[in-house]
Structure 1
Amino acid sequence: MKDEIVKIEKLEDIIDREMERHPHSQPLLQAFRHVILARNRILEGLQLAESEPLVLDDIRFQGGVPVIAQYPLIREDDPWKDIVQAMIPAVQEGFPDLREDLDRLGNALQADDFDLYDYFRRNSEEQQDLLSIWAGTISIAAERIGFILNQASRIVLEKRAGDIAEQIEALHWEKGYCPICGSFPSLAVIGEKIGERRLHCSRCGHNWRFSRVICPYCEREAQQEMNFFYIEDKPQESAFTCEECQRYLITLNRVSDLNDRDLDVSALGLTHLDIILQEKHFVPMTVTDWNVF
């Protein structure tokens, strides 16, 4: 319990420092503060049913088939209802406009009107269709239901990713999408001393190494220097851009204080770069709850 309290207090400090660094992002950071803290509290205390041992086809994995396509990261017996119910108050605190809608959602879940696993087991297109049906049933915008369900899936996937990460560390992976859940990164970090690029997945929280001279999205290799967009007085904050696929990736450059950061919080603090790059007609490598305007 003491360790959990220390971790949450550290996360509070990280959010406060990010708000000091980026005053223009304070409203967004303050809104997501409640969501991120609640998500981490749930994650710290989450007990999932014991899973079967991880068995991967190494050849398929090295060929680009992620863990989620070979091993059940999403399970019917995961406590989906409990997690969503626990997240509702935090989302309501951060986003007061959603309060009445989420009360209706909570009541529907309490009455077992929806099978949440039916949503999580589907592909993204099927999920949108199901959200539309649910939205019509309880008169809530589909995007609002999807927002809180994204938080629930992040918790379960991050829990399993944490258990799996060490087991796959030694395996060969050369793709720009996440080796665990198959999603494209929401943020990249280039270390100060080693200079390697690590990609961060906002869907499961996993970080992995990736070449600095290849676009993670289209795998185009740079013929010369990679394209980076910088704010003049903040060289540590940048965005990688690819002229081939017109995608961009927010990037923390030459970072030495990675242990004192939460990469989701960092991404929230850098949304001004998202706005600038989208005005230049670039598209984020992955859509998050905060980077589409």
Structure 2
Amino acid sequence: MMKDRSGSIRRFEEIIDREVERHPHNQPLLEAFRPLILTRNRLLEELELEENPPFQIDEIRFQGGVPAIEQHPLLLESDPWEDLVRSLIPAFQKGFPDLKEDLDRLEKALSEGVLALSDYFTGNRDGQQNLLSAWGGTLSIAAPRIGFILNSASRIVLEKRALKIAERIQGLKWEKGYCPICGSFPSLAVIGEKIGERRLHCSRCGHLWRFSRVVCPYCEYEGQEGMDFFLIEERPQEAAFTCDSCQRYLVTLYRVSDLHDRDLDVSALGLTHIDVIMQEKNFAPMTVTDWNVF
């Protein structure tokens, strides 16, 4: 029997609506990403992935800072890349109408079998950039635009696998500021209202992990001097951690108690005014996302 997903979609609609109410100045950005967020979460629920080979991890290497993705393949040639990209195209068409011609070219290339998508998803970073450049030239599409679409597909697969891996690494020691699953730096931090611990959110796979509040996640600098919090006076829950050692910042939800009513990617979209302020102060984000570079 088909699972009724209307409740889940409605929940994400409400989360985005609340974020628009909190930050009406960021409504255009939130509305642009709304179709993509809703489609991504629908596909996340529908997607069934094989586990071949079975997941294995060297706990000693892991606790030494080697993330899961460097020990076990998380993006497989056999994953349904073309189906995922095709399913995402209508969301991009709706949220980003300026991409219409590019999306039409991409869809035509998929229909004609011009692109071997698995080569991108299973390649290393340099190989991916080379492919984007080559495909961009072939299709007359800017390489970053192709990357925007393809990385949205990889997010779904990574998050699906991350949900299972998170259970298997629970209890293992991890002291790095990059994601224990996919190795990416965080796009957002959360500090709880009561416990006060800092958790880092990965925009590449959606994983959330604990990390020290007195260490910079990016350069691992530790000390009272050179690290600070930039707070929005009228909104004390909205902040940015800054490190003078590496000149990086991390947007932070500070002492929040309503995480069950939030999606952290949506929250990051609602806080882009902090990204603007920090970049004007010559700090760089810990990781580049589709929305935080100006």
TM range (shorter): over 0.9
C-alpha distance in structure 2 between counterparts of 1:154 and 1:272, whole Å: 24
The answer to whether structure 1 residue 23 and structure 2 residue 27 are counterparts is no
Which residue number corresponds to residue 217 of structure 2?
216
Any idea what the Cα deviations from partners look like across 1:260-279, whole Å, max 9, x if unmatched? 10000000000000000001
Which residue number corresponds to residue 263 of structure 1?
264
Normalised TM-score (structure 1) = 0.98
The answer to whether structure 1 residue 185 and structure 2 residue 186 are counterparts is yes
SS at match of 1:18: helix
- Quickly say closer, same or farther: Cα 1:225–1:283, change in 2 above 3 A: closer
Q: What letter is aligned with 2:100?
A: R
Q: What letter is aligned with 2:279?
A: Q
C-alpha distance in structure 2 between counterparts of 1:183 and 1:286, whole Å: 8
The aligned runs of 1:105-124 (5 Å cut-off) are 105-124=106-125
Which residue number corresponds to residue 98 of structure 1?
99
Which residue number corresponds to residue 143 of structure 1?
144
Which residue number corresponds to residue 57 of structure 2?
56
Which residue number corresponds to residue 90 of structure 2?
89
Which residue number corresponds to residue 199 of structure 2?
198
SS at match of 1:240: strand
The aligned runs of 1:2-41 (5 Å cut-off) are 4-41=5-42
Contact 2:189 2:252 in 1 (8 A): yes
Q: What letter is aligned with 1:161?
A: A
Contact 2:16 2:34 in 1 (8 A): yes
Which residue number corresponds to residue 239 of structure 2?
238
Q: What letter is aligned with 1:9?
A: R
C-alpha distance in structure 1 between counterparts of 2:73 and 2:126, whole Å: 20
Aligned residue pair count: 293
SS at match of 1:253: strand
Q: What letter is aligned with 1:59?
A: I
Q: What letter is aligned with 1:253?
A: Y
SS at match of 2:123: coil
Contact 2:226 2:245 in 1 (8 A): no
The answer to whether structure 1 residue 250 and structure 2 residue 251 are counterparts is yes
SS at match of 1:76: coil
Which residue number corresponds to residue 129 of structure 1?
130
Percent identity of equivalent pairs: 71
Q: What letter is aligned with 1:131?
A: L
C-alpha distance in structure 1 between counterparts of 2:34 and 2:56, whole Å: 37
C-alpha distance in structure 1 between counterparts of 2:227 and 2:144, whole Å: 35
- C-alpha displacement at 1:108, in angstroms? 0.3
Gaps of 5+ in 1: none
- Quickly say closer, same or farther: Cα 1:81–1:15, change in 2 above 3 A: same
Q: What letter is aligned with 2:172?
A: L
C-alpha distance in structure 2 between counterparts of 1:110 and 1:136, whole Å: 18
C-alpha distance in structure 2 between counterparts of 1:211 and 1:5, whole Å: 38
C-alpha distance in structure 2 between counterparts of 1:222 and 1:7, whole Å: 43
Any idea what the Cα deviations from partners look like across 1:17-49, whole Å, max 9, x if unmatched? 000000110000000001111111111100112
Which residue number corresponds to residue 167 of structure 2?
166
C-alpha distance in structure 1 between counterparts of 2:247 and 2:126, whole Å: 23
- C-alpha displacement at 1:50, in angstroms? 3.4
Any idea what the Cα deviations from partners look like across 1:207-229, whole Å, max 9, x if unmatched? 00000000000000122594011
Q: What letter is aligned with 2:190?
A: V
Moved more, 30-39 or 225-234: 225-234
Gaps of 5+ in 2: none
C-alpha distance in structure 2 between counterparts of 1:186 and 1:28, whole Å: 17
Give me the CA root mean square deviation.
1.1
C-alpha distance in structure 2 between counterparts of 1:131 and 1:151, whole Å: 14
- C-alpha displacement at 1:125, in angstroms? 2.4
SS at match of 1:229: strand
Q: What letter is aligned with 1:197?
A: R
Which residue number corresponds to residue 46 of structure 1?
47
C-alpha distance in structure 2 between counterparts of 1:225 and 1:127, whole Å: 36
